[in-house]
Chain A
Amino acid sequence: MSEFGEEDDGPAPSLAQIKHIILILSGKGGVGKSSVTTQTALSLCEKGFKVGVLDIDLTGPSLPRMFGLEDQSIFQDTNGWRPVEVKTNGKGSLSVISIGFLLGDRGNSVVWRGPKKTAMIKQFVKDVAWGELDYLLIDTPPGTSDEHISIAEQLRFSGPDGAIVVTTPQGVATADVKKELNFCKKIDLKIIGIVENMSGFICPHCAECTNIFSSGGGEALAKEFSVPYLGNIPIDPQFVDMLENQKNSDKTLSELYSESSIHEIFQGIIQKVLDQKHPGRF
């Protein structure tokens, strides 16, 4: 697009040593994009990959809290902005960039119109010194607007693998997610697959599974759009507990996650992503 100068006519040098770029998208809010991003990051890291996570939800960043990094700041040196590191167990590496690290107080709102959001995303793509990464995961806000158009423009020469699209089962959610799938088609972004989140709740008292937000919507959507279905994740209040209480534990988030009941379910999903054997960017 004409609003960008010559400097934008090529892949961003800051992304040069990143092998795979994956976006996590959903037309609908509150379906678990950030929670799927977190689980994808932890799972890849556990397999020994070097993982970076970029949060482009500027008005509602959730990743700093999910990774237990709320009090952290971003530092810069001559190479650029240094992403905030998450402690791992020696396997792989994990680092995060979010606007949440740039707010004076966690309750501060970022009341920005499009152009300023665009400028911030451009800076996130160009100025962060990610170094060598196997995977860069990009968590997005709901919708198909400024943030999405901007990240698509910034990545247009950078060959992302594609998008993991998150939905919940009910029709009201899949209706919005269809719009997101059409957005991907329009910008030529490959769909790696659809994940159905909040798919049923197992009562801790009687073990009966209730489909609070109905079920099967994600799989039907994948069929309708002929894209891979990666699997479903039930509602697991323990996962939220784990994220919320990670500060009180001696264990790292990776350790806590690998012991959680949701971990095994998600491994099936991540394996399907890896099995696609995307060649990557180099």
Chain B
Amino acid sequence: MAAEVIPPVTTKDDRILPPEYELKEAEPEHCPGPESEMAGKADACDGCANKEICESLPKGPDQDIPLITENLAGIKHKILVLSGKGGVGKSTFSTMLSWALSADEDLQVGAMDLDICGPSLPRMLGCSDEMVHESNSGWTPVYVADNLAAMSIQFMLPEDDSAVIWRGSKKNQLIKKFLKDVDWDELDYLVVDTPPGTSDEHISINKFMGESGIDGALIVTTPQEVALLDVRKEIDFCKKAGIKILGLVENMSGFVCPNCKGESQIFKPTTGGGKALCEELGIRFLGSVPLDPRIGKCSDLGESFLDAYPESPASTAVLQVVESLRDAVGDV
């Protein structure tokens, strides 16, 4: 039987639509773009299930973006913590970064959790039982310390383990609220923790926050190729989306046995790990953080690992990465 190869899917950036205009189907091949002047009127629109939606779309820029830009005007540096892969330590690193920065009493720090279905920041920051309060100036974030504010969907769930079964459009609405309606006040740093992947959350944060200026992204990976494969995709996304890459950190690289002090590579860098990837793609390598079982324990308890075990090689490595990051955004 004759067989033909299925052509590659188009991987161009997906379009951004207001949530109430969710498309019914994927766009046809010659779609003029739902946000274009021709939306709903081009030849390709005849017979497309989205025709009506596109015709009724408001033309022109998103009206909320100026409001977001205004709300975020008092924030000096905005850093996204990204990785294509799950479970590599994005939230752990976001937490440690927030703690390390806020150790300097002169700095005001915010931590925002964009992972709507699997929020981990509140637990790691030790504030998972807190609630968000509403005031005249908007939603007040949860203060973990005088100079460390956090925001996450976890603060709004009826039960700790409630599942948030939301499609992308609903997630986008919440992300917009986090940016537009949270009273962040003046911040030196806003650290944005993200879920794995390159989908709604990532497209939205870039679109909503782009105008107010994103300093760049910190990419987190683990050493093995299965993780690097997904991280390549995230780097590709950053390039397409115009997000500057501040650098890459390799987490969970190497493990020192607490019993015999022998070192092992648990997640083996069979293709050279994060460092080789950085060299290949021309990205700044910020360092490797070794596996220390106490990091996981501190994360579960919501304690600062950097404060609890300052002598650990992992602490030293994290602080070095934080310094390089501050350098990369032009602070210090």
Interface residues of A (CB under 8 A from B): 3, 27-31, 34, 59-60, 62, 65-66, 73-79, 81-82, 99, 101-104, 106-117, 119-120, 141-146, 148-149, 168, 170-173, 175-176, 178-183, 186, 201, 203-206, 208, 210-214, 235, 237, 240-241, 243-245
Query: What CA separation (Å) do A82 and B95 show in the bound complex?
Result: 45
- Is B85 a contact partner of A168 (Cβ separation < 8 A)? no
- List of A residues within 8 angstroms of B8 by Cβ: 102-104
Q: Is the CB of A119 within 8 A of B11?
A: no
Query: What are 6 inter-chain pairs, A to B, with CB distance below 8 A?
Result: A59-B84, A59-B196, A141-B197, A175-B120, A175-B160, A237-B267
Query: Which of under 10, 10 to 19, 20 to 34, or 35 or more describes the interface residues of B?
Result: 35 or more
Known contacts A111-B237, A145-B117, A244-B268: A179-B123 contact under CB 8 Å = no
Q: Does A77 contact B3, Cβ atoms closer than 8 Å? A: yes
Closest to B157 in A: A179
CB of B293 within 8 Å of the partner chain: yes
Complex: how many Å from CA A208 to CA B117?
36
Q: Are A103 and B11 in contact (CB under 8 A)?
A: yes
In addition to A178-B161, A244-B268, 9 A-B residue pairs with Cβ atoms within 8 Å of each other are: A60-B233, A107-B236, A113-B15, A114-B168, A145-B116, A170-B297, A172-B299, A176-B118, A208-B260
B136 within 8 A of A: no
Contact A109:B268 (CB < 8 A) given known A210-B257, A214-B300: no
When A and B form their complex, which 5 residue pairs have the shortest distance between CB atoms, in order from nearest?
Answer: A29-B86, A30-B87, A205-B262, A114-B168, A178-B161
Choose among B9, B15, B169 the residue that contacts A99 (Cβ–Cβ < 8 A): B9
A29 touches B237 (CB 8 A): no
Expressed in whole angstroms, the Cα–Cα distance for A145 and B235 within the complex equals: 23
Write the nearest CB–CB distance from B195 to chain A, whole angstroms.
7
Residues of A with C-beta under 8 A to B16? 113
A114-B167, A179-B162, A212-B291 as given contacts; A65 in contact with B257, CB under 8 Å: no
Q: With both chains docked as a complex, state the minimum distance between the C-beta of A225 and any C-beta of chain B, in angstroms.
A: 9
Are B296 and A170 closer than 8 Å at their CB atoms?
yes
Check if B202 is an interface residue, CB within 8 A of chain A. Answer: yes
| Interface residues, chain B, with chain A CB atoms under 8 Å away | 1-9, 11-17, 22-27, 84-88, 91, 116-118, 120, 123-124, 160-169, 171, 195-200, 202-203, 222, 224-227, 229-230, 232-237, 240-241, 255, 257-260, 262, 264-268, 270-271, 291, 293, 296-297, 299-300
Q: Report A-chain residues with C-beta under 8 Å of the C-beta of B300.
A: 170-172, 214
Number of A-B pairs, beta carbon distance below 8 Å? 270
Give Cα distance in the complex from A75 to B7, angstroms: 9
The residue on A at minimum CB distance from B24 is: A3
Assess whether A73 is in contact with B5, with CB atoms less than 8 Å apart: yes
Please indicate the chain B residues that have their CB under 8 angstroms from the CB of A201 in the complex: 255, 264, 266
Say whether, besides A106-B232, A175-B161, A208 and B257 are in contact (CB < 8 Å): yes
- For the complex, what is the distance from the CA of A103 to the CA of B169, rounded to whole Å? 25
Q: Which B residues touch A141, using CB under 8 A?
A: 86, 196-197
- Pair B14/A240 contact, Cβ less than 8 Å: no
Q: How far is the CA of A235 from the CA of B236 in the complex (A)?
A: 30
B296 in contact with A59 (CB, 8 Å): no
Q: Is the CB of A28 within 8 A of B6?
A: no
Is the beta-carbon distance between A109 and B84 smaller than 8 angstroms? yes
Q: Given A210-B259, A244-B268: A114 and B200 within 8 A (CB)?
A: yes
Contact status A74-B6, CB under 8 Å? yes
Using CB atoms, name the residue of chain A closest to B234. A109
What CA separation (Å) do A61 and B171 show in the bound complex? Answer: 22
Q: A145 CA to B197 CA in the complex, in Å?
A: 12
| Shortest Cβ distance from residue A153 to the other chain B in the assembled complex, whole angstroms | 11
Chain B contacts of A103 at CB under 8 A?
8-9, 11
Contact B203 A240, beta carbon cutoff 8 Å: no
* Set B7, B11, B227: member contacting A110, Cβ < 8 A: B11
Task: Indicate if the CB atoms of B118 and A29 lie closer than 8 Å.
Answer: yes
* Least CB distance, A18 to chain B, in whole angstroms: 21
Complex Cα spacing A141 to B195, Å: 11
Query: Which residue of the partner chain A has the closest CB to B11?
Result: A108
A28, A79, A176, A186 — most chain B CB neighbours (10 Å): A176
Docked CA distance A109–B307 (Å): 38
Which residues of A are found within 8 Å of B233, using beta-carbon distances?
59-60, 107-110
Nearest-CB residue, chain A, relative to B223: A240
Chain B residues whose CB sits within 8 angstroms of the CB of A73 once the complex forms? 5-6
**A143 in contact with B226 given A99-B9, A113-B203, A182-B163 (CB within 8 Å):** no
Q: Give the docked Cα–Cα distance between A110 and B237 (Å).
A: 8
| Chain B residues with CB under 8 A of A3 | 24
Contact of B169 with A114 in the complex, beta carbons under 8 Å:
yes
* Most chain B CB neighbours (cut-off 10 Å) among A74, A145, A213: A145
The answer for the CA separation of A244 and B273 in the assembled complex, in Å, is 13
| Distance (whole angstroms) from the CB of A236 to the closest CB of chain B | 9
By the criterion CB–CB under 8 Å, are B270 and A182 in contact?
A: no
Distance in angstroms from B273 CB to nearest chain A CB is: 12
> How far, in Å, is B85 (CB) from chain A's closest CB?
6
Return A176 CB to nearest CB of chain B, in Å.
Answer: 4
